[in-house]
A and B are shown apart, each in its own frame.
Chain A
Amino acid sequence: MLVHLPILQVIVPLIAAPACLILRRPKLVWLFALFASSLAFIISILLLQQVMTAGTISYELGGWSPPWGIEYRIDKLNAFIALIISGISTVVLLAAQTSIEKEIPKDKQPLFYILYLLSLSGMLGIVTTGDAFNVFVFLEISSLSAYSLIALGKDRRALWASFQYLIMGTIGATFILIGIGLMYQMTGTLNMADLAVRLPEVAETRTITTAYVFFIVGVCLKLALFPLHFWLPNAYAYAPSIVTAFFAATSTKVAAYLLIRFTFSIFGISFSFTTLPIETMFLVMGLLGIFIASTVAIYQDNIKHVFAYSSVAQVGYMIVGFSLSTPAGLTAMLLHMFNHALMKGALFMALVAIMYRVGSSKINDLQGLGRQMPLTVAAIVVGGLSLIGVPLTVGFVSKWYLVVAAIEKGWWWLAGLVLLGSLLAVIYVWRIVETAYFKAPILGQQPVKEAPMAILVPVWLLVSANVYFGIDTRFSVEIAASAAKSLFGVAQ
């Protein structure tokens, strides 16, 4: 059984998805989906344990040995990302049934869980597979289900947002496919490890360079790296709240994983960082993303938009870590992927609670909510402090490692810019806190009750994780650091 864990990681949610059709009753389907997701979470914990003790696992699908058969290859990097995805998915699902009762019509609820599980298995598939074409297949599974999930949103603009995401996502996936196709054409293999061996022979060709460029642009689109982020804010804002919570915490991480996997393990550092001045390009776009997206976030009047733009800015921080092209920088990036999942998970889950009670996520509708929903708003405060990077939260840990990495490289100005960026977060977070706590409720508006336990529990699970991993950093830092080191070790 333990030997088959790598494939079970993907198969469990993938099989569970159509099985939902049999159950039909939303409550049952929910419990079943929760069960499947928890199972995936447990599997990812076991996998991570195995990888940390015994090293990389290679699993041959159907007994066909690579490079002919499809290989699933689990190392520290993807075990870590799979843990983030399945963990967030499980916590978010805890609140799903309560939340969608108000946001999705009853007959579509089982459908929601099917799509959710498909999307989850797609993301897990992208992360665990060791086959480049498999990446594309799973990318399409997760994206197609994502488009439909977003379209389920109550707001009619959800359809339009979903359609735009569909166009952009398809272009992104096509670019990635073009990249993979060109690589296949030149090397005749799709296995990642095999590609890494064969690529250097043909590295000097235009085809490979073009493959690389197409791949990078496609991934940047999926990653919502500035200026390719335009699809993201509306998709996040108009999707059902629970979907936003899930995607905000996980989907950009998958794209970031792809970026790391292809640049470091497949193309190799020496190729990736010399073909293109990618360090400079990413540094510039990361910084622009941080400052412009944070500024835009300040002027939004819908909190979902605020946090969506903030996500674009946070991707900027990750990319800045990447652009340092040192083990310390990559560690900072991986750490921030983990920490950002916790922050945005907590914040968007708190919004799930607000949507449940208030039915709107406009900032002005939050007036006086601090007294009516104290626990939910307190969660936003802690999550917001984490986003700013106040000590004792995960945000501080991210900031710390990113700044240390910049200083070790001797880029003092970058350390300063990164920290100045967090000043902008102060403004948009403070605005929400001020509205919720210090403005009187709108006259005539019905006072609301605190959110139900089913939502509060996952919210506070994530909030406590924000604080816990902000203090006890051993787990996250150890894995991120050793994954980063081995990535650099492999490529050197």
Chain B
Amino acid sequence: MTMSDLPPGLVLIIGAFILPIVGQRLRPILTLGLPLLTLYLVWSLPNGTFSTVPMLDYNLAFIQSDSLSRLFATVFSIMTFGGSLFALKQKRVLELASVFVYAGSAIGVVFAGDLISLFIFWEIMAVASTLVVLSAGGKRSYQISMRYFLIHVFGGTLLLIGILSHIVDTGSTAFTAMAPNTFGTIFILMGFLINAAAPPLSAWLSDAYPEASFSGAVFLSAFTTKAAVYVLLRGFPGSEVLIFIGVFMIFYGIIYALLENDMRRILAYSIVNQVGFMVTGVGIGTEMALNGVAAHAFTHIIYKGLLLMSAGSVLYMTGRRKCTDLGGLFQSMPLTAICSIIGALSISSFPLTSGFISKSMISQAAADESLTLVWFMLMAASAGVFLHAGIKFPWFVFFQKDSGLRPSDPPWSMRLAMILFASICIGLGVWPEYLYAMLPYEVTYVPYTVTHVVQMLQLLLFSGFAFFIMLPLMKRTLTITLDFDWTYRRFFALLLRRMFTIIWKIDGALRQAFLSKLDSGLSYLARRNVGASSLLSRDHPAGSMVIWVTVLLAIYLLMSFIG
């Protein structure tokens, strides 16, 4: 067994079982050292397929290394390192151990050379991430983790059906590019999309992530959806249906984030939105688009991690999570505020931040393919992103009214983690060539041209205006006077408010109806089954058992005589 036979993800998974055993002093060293070791292993892997193991009549290839998998494994390792640094103050060992299994299995997915080993890591990822949600503690987190787990097991089920029928169809377990045109591949795609939080089952993400602990949410934001993006990238490049799904996710994320009050739920919706960009890019499917998706996944993990870290810091220091309870924290938490602004600028793809050099590749790809409508929507959505994540999150948490809270910046380890990620955001924005060199295809795209920069700045400027125009819509007590035509502003705001209210109401009514039906059905079942003397589980007297025997015997006899 040489070094290259050891799947890098396994380091973290094995480490997870060592962590709870070692003492308080050794634990931080391991927590920070293992992700770095993983990163080293990822980079020392040459291209090719290794570590094949026979199982279930097939040869499993646990490691298939190329530039794409290396890119994702790299950012997953960096994320594990940064997140662990941030989570040093987290006292629950269970969360840390689950996180390590979670990260290790995500890296496992990325290196999986065939569908079966992919599925194996996929399922481990589902179990481990559920434990991360669950370890926040409390009755609520139990119910949420249950919902979360059921959806992921359901997704895994679809995936398993798909994989099996694909193997039966083609006779091969290879994980190569497919098109969703057979039963098997359609199910595989559905399984992948559920993890990507695609409609109609996108609610699991915004349901579960905000309920995790201050550090758990940081990890959750990174792995599940991005592993899904990776498998889509490798499995379904250029599948047109993904464009529609992606665009839908983009706008779903924006609309719900704008209406949301919980700061981490805003960020959770924004994950759906950002993954929407990536899914759209996969759907476009040109080399440029795929490069853009890979790059965007990389940068998104970093800046979304950063944003959730700053939200986590606020939660850790204040214990509050609603925008309306927060505000004015800039004065006492300057570092957190600055880091969150850097994250916010990155997600809005402000020039000189990481978002700019990656997202623009996707929209450029849409333009190159003359997908005008898609391009237009992506542009509009970029403005929307700036609205909900770029301004709304930092504005309501750190500025706006003074909530009277005066928490200090979080402990040093959390500050250090934020500084690290903030510098990566800026670093990638200033020197994009390092990221570009890691991408699967050769990059000809030059981000810093006058047109690109001006275009983006214009867009951001206008949407910035729009935010302040719509402020009354979001927070009516706040009045902002701008040098604008009052009636026009009024009309615009009214129109938007109407539109959102209608969407919100219809959606709400549908969900309500469905949930209440489901709820009444389940509670009927539960009511009838509590205790020993209930519908399904009561004890039967021997007589009634014998009746069943007789009935069955009669049926069988009858059938055999007829047949």
Contact = CB atoms under 8 A, between A and B. Distances in A.
B525 A438 contact: no
Contacts of A274: 563
Contacts of A299: 525-526, 529-530, 534, 536-537
A472 B537 CA distance: 38
A223 B168 CA distance: 32
Interface stretch (A23-31, A57-65, A137-145, A407-415): A407-415
B553 A217 contact: yes
B549 A228 contact: yes
Given A213-B557, A275-B563, A427-B146, A416 B161 contact: yes
Contacts of B446: none
Nearest to B536: A296
Contacts of B530: 299
B552 A227 contact: yes
Interface stretch (A95-103, A183-191, A396-404): A396-404
B163 to A, nearest CB: 10
A390 B164 contact: no
Interface string B40-55: 0000000000000011
Nearest to B57: A477
Given A275-B563, A296-B529, A400 B164 contact: yes
Interface stretch (A68-76, A340-348, A418-426): A418-426
A213 B548 CA distance: 15
Interface stretch (B117-125, B455-463, B488-496): B117-125
A234 interface: yes
Interface string A189-207: 0000000000000000010
Contacts of A430: 146, 149
Contacts of B57: 477
Interface in A42-93: none
A407 B548 CA distance: 33
Nearest to B551: A227
A213 B559 CA distance: 10
A430 B548 CA distance: 33
Contacts of B537: 233, 296, 299-300, 305, 309
A164 B153 CA distance: 38
B137 interface: yes
A88 B288 CA distance: 59
Contacts of A471: 55
A209 B561 contact: yes
A67 B148 CA distance: 61
B127 A385 contact: yes
A168 B164 contact: no
A390 B154 CA distance: 12
A167 interface: yes
Interface string B149-180: 11001100100110011001000000000000
A479 to B, nearest CB: 14
Nearest to B146: A430
Contacts of A385: 127
Contacts of A407: 161, 164-165, 168
Contacts of B560: 209-210, 212-213, 275-276
A178 B542 CA distance: 21
A155 interface: no
B556 interface: yes
A214 interface: yes
A124 B436 CA distance: 67
Given A299-B530, A299-B536, A427-B146, A231 B153 contact: no
B142 interface: yes
Contacts of A230: 540, 544-545, 548
Contacts of A390: 123-124, 127
Contacts of B561: 206, 209
A214 B164 contact: no
B549 A403 contact: no
B548 to A, nearest CB: 5
B430 to A, nearest CB: 43
A225 to B, nearest CB: 9
A422 B152 CA distance: 12
A209 B553 CA distance: 12
Interface in B505-560: 525-526, 529-531, 534, 536-537, 539-540, 542, 544-546, 548-549, 552-553, 556-557, 559-560
A213 B553 contact: yes
B542 A167 contact: yes
A221 interface: yes
B529 A415 contact: no
Interface in A273-288: 274-277, 281
B556 A404 contact: no
B134 interface: yes
Interface string A295-310: 1100111000100010
Nearest to A399: B160
B412 interface: no
A305 B534 CA distance: 14
B123 A391 contact: yes
B542 A213 contact: no
B556 A164 contact: no
Contacts of B542: 163-164, 167-168
Given A228-B545, A296-B537, A416-B161, A391 B153 contact: no
A437 B137 CA distance: 10
A74 B120 CA distance: 37
A8 interface: no
B37 to A, nearest CB: 23
A255 B546 CA distance: 19
A234 B539 contact: yes
Contacts of A214: 553
Given A230-B545, A434-B134, A415 B563 contact: no
B468 to A, nearest CB: 45
A456 to B, nearest CB: 17
Given A276-B556, A419-B160, A408 B153 contact: no
A358 interface: no
Contact of B546 (A167, A275, A412, A419): A167
Given A168-B545, A434-B134, A391 B124 contact: yes
B282 to A, nearest CB: 26
Of the candidates B55, B137, B149, B546, the one having the most CB atoms from chain A within 10 angstroms of its own CB is B55
A5 interface: no
A275 B562 CA distance: 9
B56 interface: yes
A473 interface: yes
A423 B157 contact: yes
B244 interface: no
A392 interface: yes
Interface of B: 54-57, 94, 119-120, 123-124, 127, 134, 137, 142, 146, 149-150, 153-154, 157, 160-161, 164-165, 168, 183, 525-526, 529-531, 534, 536-537, 539-540, 542, 544-546, 548-549, 552-553, 556-557, 559-561, 563
14 contacts: A168-B545, A175-B553, A213-B560, A216-B556, A228-B545, A230-B545, A234-B539, A299-B529, A390-B123, A399-B160, A400-B160, A408-B168, A416-B157, A471-B55
Interface of A: 163-164, 167-168, 171, 175, 206, 209-210, 212-214, 216-217, 220-221, 227-228, 230-231, 233-234, 274-277, 281, 292, 295-296, 299-301, 305, 309, 385, 388, 390-392, 397, 399-400, 403-404, 407-408, 412, 415-416, 419-420, 422-423, 426-427, 430, 434, 437-438, 471-474, 477
